[in-house]
């Protein structure tokens, strides 16, 4: 059952890994789709757990937990209830059964999925019964071998290789003579991931998760199991003058088997277009269907001069360091490089995207320093220019959505986020941004689904602790945040989120520690220096009030502007008047300058919980235009 079919009212498209009805489309993981297809092939009949595991995870040892999770996600997608199932029934100690009717998408009866012999009217024919028995036995053995017993080499020989629906690109090694060219290898890795991610039929793991394996001693099968992928791409980049050589190989992870390898030599000006070529070659090898629009984009010419490419990749390298110490310095370096690329080539859209992010609020979504009016104008103009130059860029539409949020154009922001996801369904950052938008506007359940998608695409980075925080599940949120910070101890964003959770959970010593760590990593060491002493001598509220007062002093001196973070501090200690003072100041700032990004979190931010019963809160939500 490889074609499109229906399960009850839902249209199932295995090639796209989607189910849809009434204009709503839900994307499944490839393995979840395979489970659904197996159940659909035996609609109404029990299918054992062992049979599902053999069919969907051949040659791979996985526990029942993986299957249970897949069924859980299928029920979530179908909006089904395990206690009163309408779609998937659990048969205790045996397996699962698909209850809903399965029909082809063209409306024919379900019988059309049966074999021709099963639906052909019986007629008297004469056959040699020995030959017939031998043919049937051979067919049964072959099917059992390919599906049940799953002898890998025979299946691969007949079908041309193992099935690959998901992959991860490990950081390409820098084989240039110059060690300082690491930024170039990093940039080439990111570009390859971006191009592969545009193939909707293929699940591609985010760069932020793959990067953690740069210097690992783990085996490829172990990495693949941790990332839940079928295949791994690894390779190298060597740059010499204005020439670049990229070597890539595709490895089927369960068997640690090299399926394909190739080297590419190009002029440096063709380096970006080369990533599209490699992505195409990989898709051909794994026999993934590429949509015509995706094919067009991958094949589009992307010639760029060596100096522009250098500036852009170096800008990206610095941008990825933001939040990991020396924030202002890294931001300035990134902005300088992106502007250098734009000055030389004003038609190069990616540089505008980078420039906009280099002028973004620090700690986006939580705020520690909002952008100045000048930052806001640069960011807005760069976003609009990026979309003008490349209307098919998922990153450009994501960026424009964030600018729309700063402008309080909520409906337009949502449209841009939908567009960004459609252009690149593998973009974990977009799913994360959309989840933040949904949660902030009061649509928690929808936001949780998007966070789950982001987590699947970026499994080594925490995307769920924030959603758990908004649900009030503090202990679970804390555990996820701590695990994430073990991997990335210098992530200032993560430390600030953990401060919020500890504060709301009433774990004040831990909250103060995380606040100090945030300040050090984000370049505000002196600002947070007296906080610990104030906490030990006068308690949590006094320490937060001291910090807020110091922050207000810096604002009076014009060194930064962070009204939303001040409102958070005063809100969490219960000082409503000061919290509303700063929220109103943020509102007036938007009216004066146009920059009002922090107000997105007015409705969803749990740090404002003490304010919600106050009539001033509902009035402000109304004026900002957020849903009541």
**Which segments of the chain have a pLDDT < 70?**
1-2, 59-65, 93, 106-161, 323-328, 361-372, 593-598, 628
Cβ–Cβ under 8 Å, residues 617 and 594: no
Of 443, 496, 438, the closest CA to residue 465 belongs to 496
Length reported for the chain? 628
Cα 595 versus chain centre, distance: 27
Same domain for 170 and 257?
A: yes
Task: Tell me what pLDDT residue 328 has.
Answer: 53
Q: How many domains does the chain have?
A: 2
Structural domain contains residue 363: no
Distances in Å between the Cα of 440 and the Cα atoms of 200, 521, 608 are: 28, 26, 12
Which secondary structure element, helix H or strand E, spans residue 383, and what is its range?
helix 373-389
Same domain for 297 and 173?
A: yes
Could you tell me the pTM of the whole model?
0.69
Task: Tell me what pLDDT residue 616 has.
Answer: 95
Q: State pLDDT tens for residues 319-329.
A: 887 765 544 57
Task: Tell me what pLDDT residue 31 has.
Answer: 85
Same domain for 291 and 179?
A: yes
Other Cβ atoms closer than 10 A to 241:
8
- Nearest-Å Rg of the Cα atoms of the chain is 27
Structural domain contains residue 557: no
Same domain for 194 and 291?
A: yes
Cβ–Cβ under 8 Å, residues 21 and 8: no
Which secondary structure element, helix H or strand E, spans residue 263, and what is its range?
strand 257-267
What angle separates helix 394-406 from helix 373-389, to the nearest 10 degrees?
Answer: 150
Cβ–Cβ under 8 Å, residues 227 and 186: no
Same domain for 245 and 117?
A: no
Task: Tell me what pLDDT residue 176 has.
Answer: 80
Cα 368 versus chain centre, distance: 24
Task: Tell me what pLDDT residue 364 has.
Answer: 34
Q: State pLDDT tens for residues 7-22.
A: 999 999 888 888 988 8
Buried b (16+ CB within 10 A) or exposed e, 537-561: eeebbebbbbbbebbbebbeeeebb
3-state secondary structure of 218: coil
User: 362 forms bridges with which residues in the sheet?
Assistant: 369
Structural domain contains residue 111: yes
Same domain for 42 and 99?
A: yes
Structural domain contains residue 148: no
3-state secondary structure of 283: helix
Handedness of CA 202, 206, 211, 212 (dihedral sign): negative
**The CATH number of the domain where 285 resides is what?**
3.40.50.10610
> Taking every pair of C-alpha atoms in the chain, what is the biggest distance, in angstroms?
99
**The CATH number of the domain where 26 resides is what?**
1.10.10.10
Last residue of a domain, one of 93, 121, 149: 121
Same domain for 186 and 295?
A: yes
Structural domain contains residue 396: no
3-state secondary structure of 505: helix
Same domain for 203 and 287?
A: yes
Reading phi first (left if > 0) and then psi (alpha if -120 to 50, else beta), residue 574 is in: left
Structural domain contains residue 343: no
Structural domain contains residue 608: no
Which secondary structure element, helix H or strand E, spans residue 251, and what is its range?
strand 243-252
User: 18 forms bridges with which residues in the sheet?
Assistant: 13, 27
Task: Tell me what pLDDT residue 140 has.
Answer: 42
Cβ–Cβ under 8 Å, residues 522 and 327: yes
Task: Tell me what pLDDT residue 368 has.
Answer: 44
Distance (Å, whole) CA 292 – CA 278: 17
Residue 552 per-residue DSSP state: H
Pairing of strands 10-13, 18-21: antiparallel
Same domain for 182 and 108?
A: no
Last residue of a domain, one of 287, 303, 319: 303
Same domain for 113 and 172?
A: no
Distance (Å, whole) CA 257 – CA 499: 45
Pairing of strands 231-240, 203-204: unpaired
Task: Tell me what pLDDT residue 64 has.
Answer: 67
Same domain for 109 and 207?
A: no
Structural domain contains residue 254: yes
Same domain for 171 and 297?
A: yes
Task: Tell me what pLDDT residue 338 has.
Answer: 95
Q: Which domain holds residue 43?
A: 5-121
Last residue of a domain, one of 269, 303, 337: 303
């Amino acid at each position: 059952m490889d074609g499109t079919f229906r399960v009850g009212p839902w249209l199932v498209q295995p090639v796209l890994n989607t189910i849809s009805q009434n204009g709503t489309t839900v994307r499944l993981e490839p393995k979840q789709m395979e489970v659904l297809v197996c159940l659909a092939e035996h609609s109404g009949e029990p299918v054992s757990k062992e049979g599902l595991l053999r069919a969907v995870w051949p040659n791979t040892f996985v526990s029942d937990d993986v299957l249970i999770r897949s069924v859980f996600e299928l029920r979530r997608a179908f909006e089904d209830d395990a206690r009163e199932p309408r779609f998937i029934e659990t048969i205790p100690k045996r397996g699962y059964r698909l209850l809903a009717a399965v029909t082809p998408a063209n409306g024919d009866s379900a019988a059309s999925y049966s074999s021709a012999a099963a639906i052909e009217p019986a007629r008297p024919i004469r056959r040699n019964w020995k030959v017939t028995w031998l043919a049937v036995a051979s067919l049964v053995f072959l099917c059992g071998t390919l599906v049940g017993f799953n002898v890998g080499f025979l299946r691969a020989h007949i079908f041309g290789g193992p099935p690959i629906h998901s992959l991860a690109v490990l950081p390409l090694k820098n084989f240039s003579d110059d060690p300082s060219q690491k930024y170039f290898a990093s940039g080439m890795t990111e570009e390859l991931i971006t191009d592969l991610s545009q193939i909707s039929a293929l699940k591609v793991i985010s760069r932020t998760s793959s990067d953690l394996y740069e210097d690992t001693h783990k085996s490829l099968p172990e990495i693949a199991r941790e990332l839940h992928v079928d295949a791994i791409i690894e390779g190298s980049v060597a740059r010499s003058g204005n020439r670049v050589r990229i070597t890539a190989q595709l490895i089927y992870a369960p068997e640690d088997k090299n399926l394909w390898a190739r080297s590419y030599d190009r002029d440096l000006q063709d380096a970006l277009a080369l990533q599209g070529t490699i992505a195409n070659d990989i898709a051909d090898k794994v026999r993934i269907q590429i949509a015509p629009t995706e094919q067009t984009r991958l094949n589009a010419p992307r010639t760029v001069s060596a100096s522009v490419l250098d500036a852009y990749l170096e800008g990206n390298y610095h941008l990825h360091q933001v939040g990991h110490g020396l924030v202002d310095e890294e931001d300035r370096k990134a902005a300088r490089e992106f502007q250098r690329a734009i000055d030389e080539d004003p038609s190069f859209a990616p540089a505008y995207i980078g420039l906009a992010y280099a002028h973004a609020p620090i700690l986006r979504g939580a705020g520690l320093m909002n952008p100045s009016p000048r930052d806001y104008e640069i960011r807005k103009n760069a976003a609009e220019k990026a979309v003008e130059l490349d209307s098919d860029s998922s990153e450009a539409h994501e960026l424009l959505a964030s600018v729309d949020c700063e402008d309080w154009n909520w409906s337009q922001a949502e449209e841009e986020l939908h567009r960004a996801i459609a252009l690149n369904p593998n973009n974990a950052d977009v799913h994360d941004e959309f989840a933040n938008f949904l949660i902030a506007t009061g649509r928690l359940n929808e936001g949780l689904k998007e966070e789950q998608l982001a987590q699947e695409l970026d499994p080594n980075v925490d995307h769920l602790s924030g959603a758990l925080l908004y649900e009030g599940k503090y202990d679970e949120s804390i555990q996820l945040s701590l695990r994430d910070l073990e991997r990335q101890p210098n992530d200032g964003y993560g430390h600030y989120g953990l401060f919020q959770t500890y504060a709301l959970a009433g774990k004040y010593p831990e909250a103060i520690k995380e606040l100090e760590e945030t300040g050090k990593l984000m370049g505000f060491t002196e600002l947070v220096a007296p906080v610990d002493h104030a906490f030990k001598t006068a308690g949590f509220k006094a320490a937060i009030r001291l910090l807020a007062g110091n922050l207000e002093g810096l604002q009076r001196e014009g060194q930064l502007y962070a009204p939303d973070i001040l409102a958070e501090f005063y809100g969490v200690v219960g000082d409503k008047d000061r919290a509303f003072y700063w929220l109103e100041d943020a509102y007036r700032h938007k009216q004066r300058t146009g920059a009002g990004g922090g107000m997105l979190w007015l409705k969803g931010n749990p740090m404002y919980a003490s304010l919600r019963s106050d009539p001033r809160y509902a009035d402000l939500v109304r004026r900002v235009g957020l849903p009541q």
